[in-house]
């Protein structure tokens, strides 16, 4: 049978895949010996990705900012880095796919080995997707004597997948006394505007720097700012009405004294994906008036394209210091990460449950600067607009209040829904011809009480054109010419 090709996107999506990187970091020459570590923050940069049949691998570097108290009681900080490698495996992956990968840092654990060496383990979260267009051969019923039952489908076709980097910076007024000790940041996409051949993106950054104050009673302060950023992505083939999804991740943050304040700069990786929905008419069943035709049917996997909208919300939770920790006199700064434990979907709503893990640095009444790891559960409900199946959760900022051991956490969190429901659509891809059908004599056949029968099935049974049927008073008249 005659065939024709249709293009359809094949897509793999993996959200919140978790792995870890381990390493040892050494104190730079000339710095005071480590007494105790009070904070380690990090950012991950993907430097290389590789896709093969069944596997997608990402490699990169984690950049660390270590804040510690020297043996003389001074607050010090230094930067270091370690490499990472993570992978996801799936039979859906193939070497010809385009890929988008981002990695962010989660929980960080550490152990001081000696006065100049720290062993670290960084929890990493990878979001990855890969896609390509596949040509699928389907049966073309445009032959004399072939009659088909057809349906119209909206088929997703990949237009482009592209990663670019943008380099925003901002200056914050602050009275600091010395070099910046550590810095970190987070980012979200707020607006996406596709144009012919390019995509305009606007987002917002949460930038932070820990700086010395010169005050022994409160030796460090947090300097922070929300700053906008934007990028114009050149995307060949993109049109204004295409389905565009954009995500971002902060790969590096640096800060330094500048005039009467602090200049904070970031490297933000922006991943853009464009898909176009094309209408195609395909046959789901067919027969021939000349021969006994046996259709070959295959199930075409289709994914309803979900969005990439991000909802930023403030989640408030109560928590307590772990036993054995010095009480809190004043919180200094805090960072957090989120771990989704359950996603429930019901009637257009997604209920997300998980835990917020927070690293807290604080002043204690008698023990000076201390740190603690605390956690709190969260539950949020999100609106699903297009059958999204995947969810991400990221902590953008944490404000801690309270004293003693009773604390309140106010966390700005970004929730993102993506993916789409998958369905299998039966499509005739070919047909096998059998014996010749016996030619019917011309005339009219009346099928009593046949009005509830499908004219297509009647046509198949008698080997005629379904258009040669008429329904009157619930009865079917079949006309053979």
Q: Taking the model in full, what pTM does it have?
A: 0.87
DSSP tally for the chain: helices H, then strands E: 1, 24
Residue 196: other Cβ atoms inside 10 A: 10
Residue 87 and residue 57 in contact, taking contact as beta carbons nearer than 8 Å: yes
Q: What is the pLDDT of residue 417?
A: 84
Positions in the chain whose pLDDT score sits under 70: 304-308, 386-388, 440-452, 469-481
CA distance 298 to 455: 24
Residue 310 and residue 187 in contact, taking contact as beta carbons nearer than 8 Å: no
Q: What is the pLDDT of residue 475?
A: 60
Tokens in use for 167?
């380099």
Q: What is the pLDDT of residue 386?
A: 67
Tokens in use for 119?
């062993």
Q: What is the pLDDT of residue 451?
A: 57
Q: What is the pLDDT of residue 261?
A: 94
Q: What is the pLDDT of residue 96?
A: 95
Find all residues with CB under 8 Å of 76, minimum gap 6, and list them: 31, 32, 67, 68, 69, 70, 181
Q: What is the pLDDT of residue 433?
A: 86
CB contact burial 226-237 (16+ within 10 A = b; e otherwise): ebebebebebee
- The CA–CA distances, whole Å, from 147 to 60, 142, 151 equal 56, 8, 13
Q: What is the pLDDT of residue 116?
A: 95
The pLDDT tens digits of the residues spanning 159-193 come to: 999 999 999 999 999 999 999 999 999 999 999 99
- The CA–CA distances, whole Å, from 24 to 33, 66, 75, 179, 247 equal 16, 12, 21, 24, 31
Tokens in use for 316?
């408030």
Q: What is the pLDDT of residue 307?
A: 58
What single string gives the DSSP state of each residue in 309-369? Answer: -EEEEEEEEEEEPPTTSPPBSEEEEEEEEEEEEEEEEETTEEEEEEEEEEEEEEEETTTEE
Q: What is the pLDDT of residue 350?
A: 86
The pLDDT tens digits of the residues spanning 47-83 come to: 999 999 999 999 999 999 999 999 999 999 999 999 9
């Amino acid at each position: 049978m005659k065939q024709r090709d249709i293009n359809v996107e094949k897509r793999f999506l993996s959200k919140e895949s978790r792995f870890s990187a381990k390493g040892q970091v050494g104190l730079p020459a000339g710095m005071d010996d480590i007494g105790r570590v009070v904070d380690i923050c990090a950012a991950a940069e993907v430097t290389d990705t590789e896709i093969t049949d069944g596997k997608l691998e990402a490699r990169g570097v984690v950049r660390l900012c270590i804040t510690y108290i020297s043996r003389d009681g001074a607050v010090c900080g230094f930067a270091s880095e370690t490499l990472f490698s993570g992978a996801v495996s799936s039979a859906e992956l193939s070497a010809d796919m385009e890929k988008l990968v981002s990695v962010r840092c989660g929980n960080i654990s550490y152990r001081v080995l000696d006065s100049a060496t720290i062993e670290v383990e960084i929890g990493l979260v990878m979001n990855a997707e890969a896609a390509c267009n596949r040509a699928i051969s389907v049966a073309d019923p445009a032959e004399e004597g072939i009659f088909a039952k057809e349906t119209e489908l909206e088929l997703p076709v990949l237009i482009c997948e592209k990663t670019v980097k943008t380099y925003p910076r901002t200056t914050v007024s602050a009275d600091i006394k010395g070099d910046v000790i550590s810095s970190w940041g987070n980012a979200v996409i707020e607006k996406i505007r596709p144009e012919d051949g390019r995509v305009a993106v606007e987002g917002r950054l949460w930038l932070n720097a820990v700086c010395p104050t010169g005050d022994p009673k409160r030796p460090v302060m947090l300097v922070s700012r929300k700053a906008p950023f934007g990028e114009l992505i050149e995307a060949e083939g993109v049109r204004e009405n295409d389905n565009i999804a954009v995500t971002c991740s902060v790969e590096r943050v640096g800060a330094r004294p500048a005039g009467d304040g602090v200049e904070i700069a970031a490297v933000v990786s922006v991943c853009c994906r464009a898909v176009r929905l094309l209408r195609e008419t395909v046959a789901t069943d067919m027969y021939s008036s000349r021969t006994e035709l046996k259709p070959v049917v295959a199930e075409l996997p289709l994914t309803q394209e979900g969005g990439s909208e991000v909802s930023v919300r403030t989640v408030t939770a109560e928590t307590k210091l772990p036993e054995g920790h010095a009480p809190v006199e004043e919180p200094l700064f805090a960072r957090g990460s989120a771990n989704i434990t359950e996603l429930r979907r019901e009637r257009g709503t997604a209920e997300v449950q998980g835990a917020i893990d927070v690293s807290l640095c604080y002043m204690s009444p008698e023990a000076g600067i201390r740190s603690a790891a605390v956690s709190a559960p969260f539950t949020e409900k999100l609106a699903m607009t297009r059958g999204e199946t995947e969810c991400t959760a990221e902590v953008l900022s944490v404000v801690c209040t309270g004293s003693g051991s009773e604390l309140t956490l106010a966390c700005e969190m970004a929730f993102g829904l993506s993916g789409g429901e998958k369905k299998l659509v039966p499509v005739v891809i070919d047909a096998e011809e059998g014996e010749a059908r016996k030619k019917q004599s011309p005339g009219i056949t009346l099928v009593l009480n046949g009005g509830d029968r499908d004219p297509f099935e009647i046509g198949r049974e008698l080997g005629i054109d379904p258009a040669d049927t008429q329904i009157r008073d619930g009865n079917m008249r079949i006309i053979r010419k």
